[in-house]
Structure 1
Amino acid sequence: MKLTRRAATVVLAGSVMVGMAGCAKSDRTTDSNTASGSSSAGSGGGTASDTFTFGAAGAPEVFDPYYASDGETFRITRQIFQGLLGIKPGTADPQPELAESWEPSKDGLSWTFKLRQGVKFTDGEVFNAAAVCYNFERMFDQNEVAQAGPAEYWAYTMLGFKGSETESLYKSCEAKDDSTAVINLTRYTSDFPILLTLESFSMQSPKALKDGDANNVQKEGDGFKYPAYAMAPVGTGPYKLSKYDEANKTITLVRNDDFWGDKAKTANLVFKVIPDESTRRQELEAGSINAYDLPNPADWKGLEEKGNQVLVRPAFNILYMGLNPEKNDKLQDIRVRKAIYMALNRDELVQTQLPEGAKVATQFMPDTVAGYNTALQPMKYDPEAAKALLKEAGAEGMTLQFAYPSEVSRPYMPDPQKIHDALRANLEAIGIKVDVVTKPWNGGYLDGVDNGLFDAWLLGWTGDYNSANNFIGTFFGSDVNDFHTWKTDFGKTLSKELDDANGIVDEGERTTAYEAVNKKIMEDYLPGLPISHSPPALVVGKGVEGLTASPLTAEMFDTVTVTKS
């Protein structure tokens, strides 16, 4: 069975959409992605607050990051847990965290991690190599319910579990001594070890996992019943969970005073769940929260004029139009796919519907990822040439069912309906009859994409980590495939080319191979249509300093200070 990752496009959870008034352009006064305080409340004035309050778009389902798959949960667990590898602030690049260094064998199948010493979990248990191996074996050995459900990130990265038919990328873990752990793989992949930066691979207290029966996930109706541990997690991070007040929709973390590194700047970190974006803005302006995510791009300028800071993340995403040639046989002809692409006025779309800093995509990955092909140029907007191609292919007047999601805003797609309307008009201008379909994001849309129910659809991807395989491998690979291209002859060839590139140990050779595959995707296959890259933002209020925006939306809050005027 092939896997799709649309249900796990969750580095940042979508918030309920608020209609965008007018153009999404912004005349921002700063390019900084780090909060440095506002002119009205600098570090020299006012009194320090011991609490930083963040307006969250949604509530967490669990606090065990291994079973989580949404950005709102990860935003919280990121403050509580740490992994072997972390992410350098403001980038998508890995850096040491609980592992001080790591070294592969020549064949890339064994990785030796030298662990940080003097680290303890918040229950007092020592972090060491035995704890690392316990965590990996716990993740590997899951019951059937977890394998088919909440253990998503292991399934998508490691592929198989203990005893499953699918061979796992993970083979074993050895504790050589207290400060040395060796992780063995069944095959080489360019995703390892950077995939260890994912929240799902966080290190958790073995004692707490055992005592809390952490793996006892059960099916319950359409969802899952989690063990007690899932709501009482134990990590090594700068904060620890104090209270989850479901009635008042607040999650309170407190500083971990025994943290091995620099202590958190504020004693309390509070997440206040406010699903509506306009309400989050009102609460920021009222001073009841200090920050929130995904401000409406049309509001950026107004927010800054009131003394707030809009921190713009570097774009690490892609918006695309997916195409399903199995459902609509006209799409099997590459001339038709090219005609559709040439009909899309992407320059105009970027200028009118996306925030400042957005740009037209030339391929299915951002230019910061190794393997990006700098020689590729955007396909020219040419509706007349598109009409000619449709005529040549015998597809004049064809009907295209074109879907978009409702009840959501994504970093790469701030207003799905407006973007869909603009692209639909482009298609109709070359004579294509568009059958419009819309479904709620979590109410049929993602399932519809996964099950191939639409001819064409709007979707995108925010990268999990800095790897070509995390973009085009996720889209068109042999194990994980979002475009269902394994059903086509060219798709089978493409999957093999991607598998071959991912298996190249030498970094330079691998980068060259991915550049070549990107060229083939855009010039020979065109399985889908990359549209744009868009920089999402978050906003912080007056007196907030020390928050660095992350292209992965993986912000840490332990460096934040709050000054009350």
Structure 2
Amino acid sequence: MKKRLVMMAVAAACFAGAAHAEEATQGGNAVVTYQNDVATLDPAIGYDWQNWSMIKSLFDGLMDYKPGTTDLVNDLAENYTVSDDGLVYTFTLRKGVKFHNGREMKAADVKYSLERTVNPKTQSPGAGFFSSIAGYDDMASGKAEHLAGIETPDDYTVKITLKAPNATFLHVMALNFASVVPHEAVEQWGADFGKHPVGTGAFALSTWKLGQELVFKKNPNYFRSGLPHLDTITFEVGQDPSVALLRLERGEVDIAGDGVPPARFLQFKQDPKYKGLLVTGDQLQTGYLTMKTTLKPFDNLKVRQAVNMAINKDRIVRIINGRAVAANQPLPPAMPGYDTAYKGLGYDVAKAKQLLGEAGFANGFSTELYVMNTDPQPRIAQSIQQDLAKVGIRASIKSLAQANVIAAGGSADQAPMVWSGGMAWIADFPDPSNFWGPILGCGGAVDGGWNWARYCNKTLDAEAEKADSMAKPDQQDARIAAWRKIFISAMDDAPWVPIFNEKRFTVRSANMGGEDALYVDPVHVPVNYDYIWKK
């Protein structure tokens, strides 16, 4: 995975010319299974690994990535220019791009969509990504109804002015949160737009039977010739992962969305008849345990440090058959800014007990630990529960569907502890800043946000903003050094227990075609549905 920030435009032809080892077949239906239902398909709201690639197949933004890579390419933007001072980005839109409802996409739609995400009434967990745009503060606080930094000189030009140079801005324009939506569809469906999505993407939603299945159909008017390859995709939900794997072996399922259950992982990996069906890829991921710093007793630093030192991370890695490495900081090892010299708060039961005593909890305390209900997450939570019990912390486990855990984590008075497994942070784009704003920055510490620890260090937020203003090529070494210091300083406050950095595994049937990278796409997590096909 590339370790430098991509700032140059890449010709659109690179996007359409993804190389394949064999010729793609057109048509057919792919069956994808998941245990849990999908929470939403609204690009301003959806923010979990399960719906991320679904949303990307329904919508487009100004920028995207070359399939299977982290290389930025133009998407709805045909081209763009950047002013000499790095403050003004002028995007020229493709002409003739149509929404699923048949209307042509225009510059006003781009402006509307970005403003909708920033509008506090939307409660978008991605609003903070756009804080670099001039006028963001006024709109986010409710003082303004529009972003002053976005202008539309004509139907095919979008001019965006930033408050300061920002090294990640083009990456932000490739996020799902920057997807372009038609105002009339949002106004028609209101809060239910996420169940009736309308975009410009390669697929459109055909049907959604809640708790049963979603069917995507090919967009015949998609602006990229020859895409998508599949006619339809059927997402079956409510499927136990073990049953889904058996069905995949029988040819009834094409992609087992929840992967191989841990109990069968080694058997599946080592069985010759399944060779080539298990696709493995590295990912910019960290699994972590959050502690809500605004709730007692986790408002006490020594309590948070004690929890960090009470947990045996190596045992947790063994639970998932060694599919990860133990973590000691928020950033994963492959991310620029990772501190190889940092040791962190190591496993030390005696020290954890001492810290709890110093914090006034010599007899421990009771709390709740929220966890997603898909195996192995409940078993990992039980391991954490057992470790905490050894130091006197009595944690009752709340094992819920993914959407319910996310909702509780984003609330002010629920989920004092959350094990992020199954929802753990995977980089939205390959830059350390992405591991800050949404999950550790003040902007994410809001109702509906992804900063489940409600951690807000304004000093570090200011340092983060300063780091992201270093947009020139000769500033990149200093910028990465600044980010390294920010994350280690955050660990001094111990809002999290970083647990492990996990690899990504996808299971596909022998009937599916496409490069392996498309099934463990680093950006279209977990699968780039636009480019895979049925043999």
Post-superposition offset of 1:251: 0.7
Higher RCO (CA-CA < 8 Å; seq separation 6+):
1
Name the residue aligned to 1:40: none
Name the residue aligned to 1:484: 454
Equivalent residue runs for 1:110-509 within 5 Å: 110-116=88-94, 119=97, 121=99, 131-140=106-115, 147-149=120-122, 151-154=124-127, 157-158=130-131, 165=142, 170-175=147-152, 180-204=157-181, 209=182, 212-216=184-188, 218=190, 224-226=191-193, 231=196, 233-235=198-200, 237-244=201-208, 249-254=213-218, 256=220, 259-295=223-259, 296-304=261-269, 305=271, 306-307=273-274, 309-324=277-292, 326-329=294-297, 332-334=300-302, 336-350=303-317, 352-387=318-353, 389=355, 393=358, 395=360, 397-409=362-374, 415-429=376-390, 431-438=391-398, 440-441=400-401, 442-443=403-404, 446-447=407-408, 450-453=411-414, 456-459=417-420, 460-481=424-445, 482=451, 483-486=453-456, 491-506=457-472, 507-508=475-476, 509=478
Post-superposition offset of 1:291: 0.9
Post-superposition offset of 1:361: 1.3
Are positions 1:527 and 2:495 aligned together?
yes
Q: Distance in 2 between matches of 1:232 and 1:485?
A: 33
Q: 1:312 to 1:405 in 2, by over 3 A?
A: farther
Q: 1:455 to 1:238 in 2, by over 3 A?
A: closer
1:264 partner amino acid: P
Q: Distance in 2 between matches of 1:61 and 1:340?
A: 31
Name the residue aligned to 2:28: 50
Q: 1:180 to 1:367 in 2, by over 3 A?
A: farther
1:440 partner amino acid: L
Kindly name which structure, 1 or 2, has the bigger radius of gyration based on alpha carbons: 1
Tell me the secondary structure at the aligned position of residue 233 of structure 1.
coil
Post-superposition offset of 1:191: 4.0
Aligned partners of 1:498 and 1:517 also within 8 Å: yes
TM-score by length of 1: 0.73
1:370 partner amino acid: P
2:180 partner amino acid: M
Between 158-167 and 257-266, report the one with greater CA deviation. 158-167
Q: 1:269 to 1:501 in 2, by over 3 A?
A: same
2:444 partner amino acid: V
1:397-454 CA-to-partner distances (Å, cap 9, x unmatched) read 3414343225533xxxx5333223323333343x434243425354577426632446
Q: Flag structure 2 segments of 5+ consecutive residues without an equivalent.
A: 1-17, 446-450
Q: 1:157 to 1:263 in 2, by over 3 A?
A: same
Post-superposition offset of 1:544: 1.5
Provide the aligned length of Structure 1 versus Structure 2: 492
Name the residue aligned to 1:510: 479
Q: Distance in 2 between matches of 1:149 and 1:188?
A: 27
Aligned partners of 1:327 and 1:453 also within 8 Å: no
Q: Distance in 1 between matches of 2:344 and 2:488?
A: 12
Aligned partners of 1:113 and 1:180 also within 8 Å: yes
Q: Distance in 2 between matches of 1:65 and 1:562?
A: 27
Q: 1:114 to 1:514 in 2, by over 3 A?
A: same
2:121 partner amino acid: A
Q: 1:93 to 1:303 in 2, by over 3 A?
A: same
Q: Flag structure 1 segments of 5+ consecutive residues without an equivalent.
A: 1-33, 38-42, 219-223
1:283-339 CA-to-partner distances (Å, cap 9, x unmatched) read 3233222112122233334445343612234232222222345544586244x5444
1:178-213 CA-to-partner distances (Å, cap 9, x unmatched) read 765322234554442212222232234xxxx36x45
Post-superposition offset of 1:115: 4.2
1:463 partner amino acid: A
Aligned partners of 2:189 and 2:196 also within 8 Å: no
Q: Distance in 1 between matches of 2:529 and 2:409?
A: 36
Name the residue aligned to 1:81: 59
Aligned partners of 2:167 and 2:470 also within 8 Å: yes
Between 461-470 and 61-70, report the one with greater CA deviation. 61-70
Q: Distance in 1 between matches of 2:343 and 2:102?
A: 55
Post-superposition offset of 1:503: 3.9
1:382 partner amino acid: D
Q: 1:476 to 1:310 in 2, by over 3 A?
A: same
Post-superposition offset of 1:101: 4.4
Aligned partners of 2:286 and 2:327 also within 8 Å: yes
Q: 1:419 to 1:66 in 2, by over 3 A?
A: closer
Aligned partners of 1:190 and 1:467 also within 8 Å: no
Post-superposition offset of 1:539: 0.9
1:263 partner amino acid: L
Post-superposition offset of 1:511: 1.6
Q: 1:536 to 1:402 in 2, by over 3 A?
A: farther
2:411 partner amino acid: D
Q: Distance in 2 between matches of 1:231 and 1:276?
A: 26
Q: 1:402 to 1:189 in 2, by over 3 A?
A: farther
Between 379-388 and 553-562, report the one with greater CA deviation. 379-388
Name the residue aligned to 1:7: none
Are positions 1:109 and 2:87 aligned together?
yes
Q: Distance in 2 between matches of 1:74 and 1:81?
A: 11
Name the residue aligned to 1:551: 522
Identity %: 20
